[in-house]
A and B are shown apart, each in its own frame.
Chain A
Amino acid sequence: MNTLVWVEHDNNEMKDATLSVVTAAAKLGDVHLLVAGAGCAGVADQAAKIAGVGKVHLADDAALEHALAENVAPLIAGLMASHDAVLFPATTTGKNIAPRVAALLDVMQISDILSVEGGKTFTRPIYAGNAIATVESSDPKLVITVRGTAFDKAAAEGGSAAVEAIGGASDAGTSSFVSAEIAESERPELTSAKVIVSGGRALKDAETFEATITPLADKLGAGIGASRAAVDAGYVPNDYQVGQTGKIVAPEVYIAIGISGAIQHLAGMKDSKTIIAINKDEDAPIFQVADIGLVADLFKAVPELTEKL
């Protein structure tokens, strides 16, 4: 089987999410990559070094600069004449493009896979991860999004695939990119951080969140996450949200502070290796999944913890 992996990148650098998708694709067959963007030849060279990759298709065109689904999806659908499966990371950009490709091919997408059980059989979470479904496709082509935390990352070095430039891109002319507000941070990205410190509604306001959570995260070199309640209340921006509809994370250590543990939040972090919870309510559901719990007033406990570490 020939598989095609859509490479996530910002035209300068490949995103790590791609590496887990390569691992999933390799379980199905030969792995080809697609780097679609503008001025993205460097990304293709980087992608060609991923271990186990057979070929890199490079589509370099102004219409592909911002990964608009209207322009990228027809290009991918065209490449599916010579591929049996296409895989995307289940990131916001992957989730934006993949179903558009599936509809163009008249196939049902398989979203957010956790494992490859056979050539057409996969497991995937439903109901915020409260159930795991095993699904088998009867479609001639597979369109798949991959949950990054469920697959090991392929080695970023060691391969030497050929890069082949392809054409066929065009601007559908119905959508245009206006602007992006992307936070620049020295902090590790949530989806690849080894340690995450996450705060909930109990943090009161943006200033208190910053004053309480940030020093602890700095001390541990951790990424910072938040519950939906904290994001909705405006303590932190949307890209901090961990949960069913936010980011799915699985760090070595997840420290939940003032987070009660709604099922929608647990859906985003319960695969973390070690979960630590600090909450003043000893009956909070978060303690049912926490490996280490401390029942305490976070405004006393967290500064003390930060100081003593």
Chain B
Amino acid sequence: MKILVPVKRVIDYNVKPRVKADGTGVDLANVKMSMNPFDEIAVEEAIRIKEAGKAEEIIAVSVGPAKAQETLRTALAMGADRAILVESDDEVEPLAVAKILKAIADEEQPQLIMLGKQSISDDSNQTGQMLAALMDRPQGTFANTIEVDGDSVTVKREVDGGLETVKLSLPAIVTTDLRLNEPRYASLPNIMKAKKKPLDTKTPGDYGVDTAPRLTTTNVAEPPVRQAGEKVEDVDALVAKIKALGIA
């Protein structure tokens, strides 16, 4: 079977985002960008399924600017077989991304589509579920463990109260949570090899998808800043403070 893995280029996990002074967004100029960490986990899981002999091909896809090629090369260096960049310089909302992914899935017919549960940029947590709805296929969100078995996949999900296990018939969409695996680092030889793997470039128009935004962001502001308080000298002083709060 084929596995489709959508990945997103986002501000690096370790960079603290800065809001632009004019309130139009977050400053991404000269900021380190990386693959969305949850998507990295999805790529890793796809590779492990292939290594276990349960998949033949992994296709990485990204919707984003030309530079998202770098993100796709990372996926290829980790072990994906080929990549598709759907190029757009505008911000593409989750609904439109899901429509593009559906069109690609219609062409490629993957049995499994795995992607991060959310991007750490807009924190929407929507694309996987929307794609599942558009394809009228089942979804296993926030995956902690995945087991592919014949024509179904069993997904253990991280939920508020603990863990929940669901069984989905394939094709299915799975979104990955933090503890599914620890993604590998691409080795230098694999990074070199990845440069020669096929990478197709398309546009949203090629798939007939209108990416006009439905939501208009009218302002982006810094959150209220919390001021650092005081440091106390010892435990006795802390006890006094806690008692003053009336909780003990």
Residue numbers of A with Cβ under 8 A of B are: 66, 68-70, 73, 91-93, 95-104, 106-112, 121, 125-139, 172, 174-183, 191, 194-195, 219-220, 228, 231-232, 237-239, 244-245, 247, 252-253, 263-264, 270, 274-276, 278, 282, 287-296, 301, 304-305, 308-309
4 additional contacts (CB under 8 A) given A195-B247, A239-B161, A294-B235: A111-B125, A130-B222, A134-B220, A252-B247
Bound Cα distance from A107 to B206, whole angstroms: 22
Known A174-B169, A238-B179, A304-B235: A91·B160 in contact at CB below 8 Å: yes
| A17 (CB) vs chain B CBs: closest residue | B160
* Shortest beta-carbon distance from B113 to chain A in Å: 14
11 of the cross-chain contacts (CB-CB < 8 Å) are A68-B166, A99-B94, A99-B127, A103-B131, A108-B214, A172-B136, A252-B245, A274-B245, A301-B235, A305-B235, A309-B248
Bound Cα distance from A93 to B164, whole angstroms: 11
A-B CB pair tally, cutoff 8 Å: 265
Are A228 and B215 in touch, CB under 8 angstroms? no
Known A69-B129, A183-B162: A135·B218 in contact at CB below 8 Å: yes
Count of residues in B whose CB is under 8 Å from the partner chain = 83
Chain A residue numbers with a CB within 8 Å of B57 are none
Are A294 and B232 in touch, CB under 8 angstroms? yes
Are B215 and A137 in touch, CB under 8 angstroms? yes
B142, B158, B160, B177 — most chain A CB neighbours (10 Å): B160
| A145 (CB) vs chain B CBs: closest residue | B125
Chain A residue numbers with a CB within 8 Å of B234 are 294, 296
Bound Cα distance from A39 to B226, whole angstroms: 46
Bound Cα distance from A156 to B47, whole angstroms: 49
With beta carbons under 8 angstroms apart, the residue of B218, B241, B242, B248 that contacts A136 is: B218
Bound Cα distance from A245 to B95, whole angstroms: 21
Bound Cα distance from A138 to B215, whole angstroms: 6
Chain B residue numbers with a CB within 8 Å of A128 are 17, 120, 123
> Nearest 5 pairs between A and B by C-beta?
A291-B229, A99-B129, A103-B133, A103-B130, A108-B214
Are B238 and A126 in touch, CB under 8 angstroms? no
Bound Cα distance from A127 to B95, whole angstroms: 19
Is B30 part of the contact surface with A, judged by Cβ < 8 Å? no
Known A232-B178, A304-B235: A177·B215 in contact at CB below 8 Å: no
| B219 (CB) vs chain A CBs: closest residue | A134
Chain A residue numbers with a CB within 8 Å of B93 are 108
With beta carbons under 8 angstroms apart, the residue of B95, B137, B172 that contacts A108 is: B95
Bound Cα distance from A297 to B178, whole angstroms: 29
Chain A residue numbers with a CB within 8 Å of B129 are 69, 95-100, 103
Is B196 part of the contact surface with A, judged by Cβ < 8 Å? no
Are A100 and B162 in touch, CB under 8 angstroms? no
* Shortest beta-carbon distance from B17 to chain A in Å: 4
Are B17 and A183 in touch, CB under 8 angstroms? no
Known A292-B230, A304-B235: A92·B158 in contact at CB below 8 Å: yes
Are B11 and A287 in touch, CB under 8 angstroms? no
Are B123 and A127 in touch, CB under 8 angstroms? yes
| A191 (CB) vs chain B CBs: closest residue | B160
Bound Cα distance from A177 to B162, whole angstroms: 15
* Shortest beta-carbon distance from A145 to chain B in Å: 8
Chain A residue numbers with a CB within 8 Å of B238 are 276, 278, 292, 294, 301, 305
Are B16 and A263 in touch, CB under 8 angstroms? yes
Are B216 and A136 in touch, CB under 8 angstroms? yes
Bound Cα distance from A271 to B235, whole angstroms: 25
Chain B residue numbers with a CB within 8 Å of A100 are 129-130, 132-133, 139
* Shortest beta-carbon distance from A95 to chain B in Å: 5
* Shortest beta-carbon distance from A36 to chain B in Å: 17
Chain A residue numbers with a CB within 8 Å of B164 are 66, 177, 179-182
* Shortest beta-carbon distance from A107 to chain B in Å: 7
Is B167 part of the contact surface with A, judged by Cβ < 8 Å? yes
